[in-house]
């Protein structure tokens, strides 16, 4: 893609409430996985990226969607546009603002979707661990995404989908996530293998 995803994210990331750097980041891809859109129209990717601009290298979870045309009403979630060598112009969005991605995240947390390899088409990723929710969660009752200093919550029915934005190499306690969470591998700035919670269900945030 031109510009690359990392170039676009270098401008977008510092505008987020959960960005911990100071100034322009120096980003590297550190892992991730994908989900398939049942409609075959939207690319859905969950990226782990590390920021090497400061002495303390922060790691972030940045889920993105890729579309062939603009998503109506989602200007706030637009990361940027890029030209793909085969697919042409692509509109790239923060997945928290894309209803197709949110529906597939719910399906993943419910055990109805399978994670796919980040760089191999049609290949499942067995390194991603899914602890499916015990309750049925609707996939068509979404509220607007709400940002915090470490995660993004999307109201879904009586619960919320939580995108864990800061990746902790020590591993967050899985039991703290309650029912329904996804753990995936990534690599620290030093190259060490790590596993962290990327997605979970949470208590629905209060209305503001």
pLDDT in tens, 98-156: 999 999 999 999 999 999 999 887 899 999 999 988 766 666 678 899 999 999 999 98
Answer yes or no: is 159 within a domain.
yes
Answer yes or no: is 53 within a domain.
yes
Tens digit of each residue's pLDDT (9 = 90 or more) over 12-34: 999 999 999 888 899 999 999 99
Number of domains in the chain: 1
Report which of residues 136 and 192 the model is more confident about.
192
Tens digit of each residue's pLDDT (9 = 90 or more) over 31-75: 999 999 999 999 999 999 999 997 788 999 999 999 999 999 899
pTM: 0.92
pLDDT on residue 169: 84
92 burial (CB, 10 Å; 0-12 / 13-18 / 19+) is: buried
pLDDT on residue 133: 82
Cα-to-chain-centroid distance, residue 68: 19
Domain span at residue 74 reads 5-203
Answer yes or no: is 208 within a domain.
no
């Amino acid at each position: 893609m031109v510009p690359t995803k990392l170039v676009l994210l270098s401008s977008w990331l510092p505008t987020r409430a959960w960005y911990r750097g100071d100034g322009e980041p120096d980003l590297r891809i550190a892992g991730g996985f994908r989900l398939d859109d049942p409609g075959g129209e939207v690319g859905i990717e969950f990226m782990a990226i590390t920021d090497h601009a400061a002495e303390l290298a922060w790691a972030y979870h940045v889920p993105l969607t890729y579309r062939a045309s603009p998503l109506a009403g989602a200007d706030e979630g637009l990361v940027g546009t890029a030209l793909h060598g085969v697919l042409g112009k692509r509109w790239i969005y923060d997945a928290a603002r894309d209803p197709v991605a949110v529906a597939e995240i719910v399906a993943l947390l419910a055990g109805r979707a399978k994670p796919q390899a980040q760089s191999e088409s049609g290949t499942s990723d067995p390194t991603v661990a899914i602890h499916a929710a015990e309750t049925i969660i609707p996939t068509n009752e979404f509220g607007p995404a709400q940002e915090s200093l470490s995660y993004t919550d999307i109201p879904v029915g009586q619960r919320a989908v939580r995108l864990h934005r800061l990746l902790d190499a020590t591993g967050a306690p899985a039991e703290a996530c309650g029912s329904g969470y996804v753990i995936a591998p990534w690599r620290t700035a030093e190259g060490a293998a790590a596993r962290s919670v990327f997605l979970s269900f949470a208590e629905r945030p209060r209305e503001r």
